[in-house]
Amino acid sequence: MTPSTPDLAATSADPLADSPFLQACRGGTPRHTPVWFMRQAGRSLPEYRAVREGVAMLDSCFRTDLVVEITMQPVRRHGVDAAIFFSDIVVPLKAIGVDLDIVPGTGPVVAEPIRAREQLDQLRPVEDGDVEPITAAVRELVRELGSTPLIGFAGAPFTLASYLVEGGPSRDHRLTKQLMHGDPDLWHDLAGRLALIARDFLRQQVEAGASAVQLFDSWAGALSLADYQEFVAPHSRTVLEGVTDLGVPRIHFGVGTGELLHEMGQVGADVVGVDWRVPLDEAVDRIGPDRAVQGNLDPTLLFAPTEVVHAHAARVIEQGKAAPGHVFNLGHGVLPPTDPDALTRLVDFVHGHG
Ligand SMILES: Cc1c2[nH]c(c1CCC(=O)O)Cc1[nH]c(c(CCC(=O)O)c1C)Cc1[nH]c(c(CCC(=O)O)c1C)Cc1[nH]c(c(C)c1CCC(=O)O)C2
């Protein structure tokens, strides 16, 4: 290169090169502890409730303008270190034509719950055309977000299967476990199809510009370790290892997964999300020293006085130092009645403290 040639590396510099979130995911020590919140976009924000007025949840997920606006809202308001793409775990199922809806106050409800082999054919692969408004939103968001990374996500096979088999949210996942143990071949076919759907949905988001992914196995904590290993781990591995070549950090999270943390780290995760039940230093002992962690302030603590929230947050940051990288988050999603100012104060505290 002659001295007069512009330095290409400098002119096309990667705006995400200094991202504290990406550095922590990769096991580095960024300038401050990065923080984002599961469900940061949503009902805790008055600006969210305003734009969602009169628009059904699933319709909003297929409207590029709304996805972009809703994803940006918490980034503008709280100054979090990552955006999470506004969508839902059932969106790829809706996109391939599964008859389901998201009922306010309940969650996903499936018109014809899956109980028999003949019903599996509807679970075909997600093609690019099925999710065009969504990938368009990802492309637009990545431009608008600049130096803030975008996290893409999908629901893991077990959590998706639970909604499809039960027909809606379930406390005990009875029918799902009945299928697993009563007809293991059908279970593995179902979970295998869901794994390909989740994998392809993640790939589509990353190819459109998302710079990390999170696989939500929210309800995996309902399983014993033995059942997780036999019936779930191989399928979650298909999803996470199916995006390895894209080179983005992979976060894997579930609720009540204290007994599964090690295994969840072994199915292709770079970062293991931990709920509030297990202190992060103890979680690191279980997961092993070669994974970053994400978590884990109890979301209900945000209803406590600020000094109590911050004392607990300081403890989370301290305990997170046991891991090679720590992304601060809640132990599960933001609860809708949370005061958004409490979230903004928490972001400022984490940035000033870590
Ligand atoms: C289990 C699960 C679902 N959806 C999701 C999970 C995994 C995460 C978790 O464990 O919480 C994932 C999800 N759903 C939503 C996001 C948005 C991104 C973000 O985190 O900010 C994410 C990451 C939006 C949403 N998804 C949903 C809402 C609320 C709908 C509304 O605003 O009317 C939002 C903002 C609906 C939904 N969808 C689901 C539930 C249980 C609900 C709540 C039902 C209710 O209480 O009304 C299924």
Select which of 48, 77, 81, 163 is catalytic.
163
- Which atom of ligand 1 is closest in space to residue 216's alpha carbon? 7
Question: For residue 45, what is the DSSP state?
Answer: -
pLDDT digits (tens, 9 = 90+) for 303-320: 999 999 999 999 999 999
Ligand 1 pocket mutation, candidates 39, 57, 84, criterion most atoms within 8 A of CB = 39
What is the predicted pLDDT for the residue at 13?
A: 82
User: ipTM of this model?
Assistant: 0.92
Inform me whether the pLDDT recorded for 5 exceeds 60: no
Question: For residue 100, what is the DSSP state?
Answer: E
Inform me whether the pLDDT recorded for 9 exceeds 60: no
39 in ligand 1 pocket by Cβ < 6 Å? Answer: yes
Q: Give the H/E segment covering residue 8.
A: helix 8-11
Q: Which residue has the tokens 């696989």?
A: 215
User: Average of pLDDT values for 60-71?
Assistant: 98
pLDDT digits (tens, 9 = 90+) for 244-275: 999 999 999 999 999 999 999 999 999 999 99
What residues contact 226, with CB distance under 8 A and at least 6 apart?
A: none
Inform me whether the pLDDT recorded for 8 exceeds 50: no
Burial of 202-238, coded b for 16+ CB within 10 Å and e otherwise, reads: bbbbbebbbbbbbbbbbbbbbbeeebbebbbbebbeb
Pick the CATH number of 28-353 from 3.30.70.660, 3.40.50.20, 3.20.20.210, 3.40.50.1000: 3.20.20.210
Select which of 26, 88, 139, 281 is catalytic.
88
40 labelled as ligand-binding?
yes
Secondary structure of residue 351 in the 3-state scheme: helix
Give dist(CA 280, CA 297) in Å, integer.
10
**Taking the mean position of all CA atoms in its chain, how far away is CA 82?**
12
Tell how far the Cα of 71 is from the centroid of ligand 1, in angstroms. Answer: 13
189 in ligand 1 pocket by Cβ < 6 Å? Answer: no
Residue 52 is a catalytic residue: yes
The residue ranges of every structural domain in the chain are 28-353
List the structure tokens of 285: 């002992």
Give dist(CA 185, CA 198) in Å, integer.
20
